Amino acid sequence: MKKAVRPDFVDAFERSIRNYAEGDWINASGTLSMAMSLCVNDGPSKWLYAYLEKNKQIVPEGWAGVRDIDKKLEPPPIDFIKHDDQEFYGEEEQDISADKNENS
């Protein structure tokens, strides 16, 4: 016997797929999270949510609404703040860094 699927789960899952295809991965992730709260053991929801999280909800360049699931995609690079970038540090923090360098 087939298990009944909740209509609110189907609605949330369909919205997440639509958002995913349209390149709105942030909302796709949110609606997938909602769908997974309604159906905890749904494999497709878990798989797509993990994929979106792995890629930090950043749509790849040239997104055409679909992807080849056999092709391994690398997650997008993350831009890290350079520790020597004075724009992000106040004078006090720069002075501490300078003192450490002088004492080395």
| pTM, full prediction | 0.64
pLDDT of residue 70: 81
Residues 30-74 have pLDDT tens digits of 999 999 999 999 999 999 999 999 989 999 888 999 887 787 766
Residue with structure tokens 């450490």? Answer: 100
pLDDT, the chain, mean = 81
DSSP per position, 19-41: HHHHT-HHHHHHHHHHHHHHSTT
pLDDT of residue 104: 54
* Helix locations, the chain, DSSP H: 7-22, 25-38, 43-54, 91-103
Q: Quick check: 91 pLDDT over 60?
A: no
21 near 31, Cβ under 8 Å? no
